[in-house]
Structure 1
Amino acid sequence: MNTTYGLFASGDACVGVPLADVREVTPCPDRLEVLPVTAPGLLGAVNLRGQVIPVLDLLAIEGRAEKPSGEAESGPRRVIVVLLHENQLLGLIVDGVHGVTRPGAMTRMGTSDGSDLLVSHTFARPETGNIVSVIDVDAMFALPGVPVVREEGRADGVFAGGDPSAGSGGGAGAAMLLVRCADHRLAIAIESVHTILPRVRVRNSPLRHGSCKGVTDYDGTEIPVFDPLELAGLGTLSRTGGEESEGVAIRFRDGLVVMMLSEVLELINVGAVERFPLPAVQVPGRRYLDEVLRVPGHGDFLSLAVPAMLEHDDLKALSRLNTPHENTVPAQRSEGSGGAAGDSWDGAGASGDTYLTFAVTRTGAKDKEFAVPLREVVEILEFPERYSVLEAGHDQMLGLFTHRDTVVPLYRLSRLLGVPDSPLESAYVLVVSTDPDSTSGQVAGLVVHGLRAIERAVWQDPNPKRSGHPDGSLEAALNDVTMLRVAAIGTADEPRMLARLDLSAIGAALVPALSSSSSTWVAA
């Protein structure tokens, strides 16, 4: 049987530890307890439920970034991996958790004189091809001068033996992350967890709707955040503005979405737990609940049906809106992909696709609403406070603004469609890619008003008004319209009829006008 490895970030490296040697993963405190002991890489100790566990920094052991005892440098993603080896405990501080994997071929590592290293093997991660360095746990516990402690008061042997495998169905031996959400205790299959986030600060965003509570920053990127309790119909995980929580980043096909939590408790192997089927309870999100796990020494946990969550249309759409903070504003799509399975796009829209609905202008009861496939929207921004104003030469263009090191041309969609303008103070900007089927397209910013909702198409016009825009002209792009019936996700509202705009085609027709315009710009 192939060994299953937990994957962790240590600086720029990805390191692997046999999952059988991992007792749990816990957030790193702001400061570790000081031990009156000096040893290479020893940072101090953590008090974990009354048991004092020494903590090492792998980078410091290797002679890099060594810190005085007690200084954990607890950044936004630092966590402690508690290793359990021959009934002894030791903590290893890492920068993040990257799930689990089962490798194929492995390469032995050593030195020319035959001495052992802390890294015993390397392998290429099957899912990504990235190199994983395997930590020699025997060598880690044998480091000279490093204190270890004997595990006390734990007879369940959750990770004490066997080889936990990462079965996607949560079968016997699968690895599960135990978490708390308000008063609910939940279990999450680890294979879909990209990383644990010990500190999640949720910011308000136009993406906020239903179980989506806003966005948070992770690794230089804005990631949407959702409430698993609201998704599963178990209540809400209330948070006040700016309050930090914990979370896990769930890996979808096209990006990440952060699941907001109250507390990460432990990483376990469910081979040692009792499993009970969930009755046919009548809750709105029943399909996102799997079974009950009775974990020795911890109690009962309700396991989430992660495969069903990965097929949730709303969450899949949000996973495509991972927006980087710097360099460029790329379209959030896999190269050459038409989106996740079941979301193919033929240019005219399809029943079941997810849409952002919005008003182009604010005119009271006469608000003109449209729909755009959420996959075409790279980012949603509030109207910029400062931008370069176009004085002459292009009636529809307002000017340029810089966002995340990208210069974005700014257009009034109302003028393009021939409807009255509205004040810009309450406007939003839809940043769209001119080529949503690749990562090489340019971007355009289209000013809209009154973001409505994330909605799903329940019907489309079988005979849409389409020009085909063979010449790529703006007029042809504006005339490429499909009528849809859409219904708000998670509500009982009646479906309504809206027109779908091809914003990517409109943006592609507009952006060339920027280079041909000989206009004067002034700062707004």
Structure 2
Amino acid sequence: MDGFSPAPSVTEVPETAERPTSMALVDLGARTVGIAVSHLREVMAMPARLEPLPSSVTGVAGCVVLRGQVIPVVDLAAMIGDSPALDGGKARIVVILCLQDQLFGICAAAANRIVPAQDIRPQPIRNAATGLRETLLATFALIGAEVIPILDVPALAGLGLPLSRDDRVTTSSFDRTDQFLLFEMAGISFALPIIEIEATVPETEIERKGMDSRYCDGTLRRLGREIAVVDAVRLAGLAPGNPRQGRSSAVVLRLEGERRIALRADRIYDITHIRQGDIAPLPRLVCTRPELFSGVVPREEGSAYFLLNHAALRADPALLALGATAMVSTADADLAGRAARAAALRSDLALLMRAGEDFALPATEVREILPMQAAHHPSGRLGHLGNVSHRKRLLPIFSLAELQGLPPTTFDHRAAVVVTRVDGDDIGLAVEALIAVEHVGSYGGKTGPSRNFVYRKMAADQGLLRLLRIEELPLGR
């Protein structure tokens, strides 16, 4: 870690420290830092010049205008004592961060990739020094063989930076906003909901391995698996193209069970929010497989984002067949054994979420996940927050924490509503945050106290989680 001064002392992170979330790795020029995906709003190109913004706070470089909104920008590299990102043209992008309903940006050289939570190992060290660098980069994580400092976004915002109120908080609560990952292939931009992505893979070798397909270029290796690499451009018929070989980045999607595919990417370049009202229908004559898209987002400069339909990709017979090639390599016997056990127990996949404490809900019980929104007309029943209109029906929303006898929780931008079914009716469970979708294991049999707890099979953190049993929710009170 070039440029880090040795800390005078080291203290352990309490065992109760928050579990990792997915991280975006951002290159500041002199170093790479990790930023929780929950704090990312989007990434924009660095303008030719920043607009002036008077401020006495060190590091404030100016502001940018994004879709009519003025957003302050700081040179984080300069703030932590590195060579300023704005010197020598190193800053090529502005990463827009969101803290609750406040926005600001940081200058950066590149947004490299997204790392899923299961690939992040928080390290039990903290900088004990009190300098600005140690305040902003107080914790670390091991990602692969690389030690990455994690940016404390609340600490950065708390330095007195000028902040801009997020215009999205004034939009209708029924105009759904989602986080999307943008990637480019053959000059065409694709978008996928972040929640549907298992991982992003930096540039790696693509092995042909005798794969015979109009749109499959070979396989790549990840976590002991050989995963088929698919060209979305040829798959959808957006352009004929030619099969490629060599190196490429990729976006890994889980299909059914243990099947996976990787969508090839020339570059993975942005995280953005797309409102449902911004999505236009895709003209059927644009490509040969329009059913693989949820729509298109036209851009002012004449380009567009093509929104891939993850449900259609999961159901495509050809992709399912290719996904079956994601076999576990025998070179990793331990991983192979764990994956085989996970595949044998299809029902052990669970949604992990936080609502006062951590819960695991069997994936088979999850109908969909919605963003948190204002609910109306609470009935006074235990945990009932009110109702929302959804899919032309009224959906009652309950606080999961209160249903479990825990103190009421505060819902912020990380909150979500998990839709499940009780006695034939859909209900929404409001949770503080979603943690992951992972395989879990039971500590005991089907009876006794241990039946109510599970552990994370594929994670380094195998602490206890409460197993949420929908049929036992106290909804009649």
Q: Tell me if TM exceeds 0.5.
A: no
> Which structure dedicates a bigger proportion of its chain to helix?
2
TM-score (norm 1): 0.39
Larger radius of gyration: 1
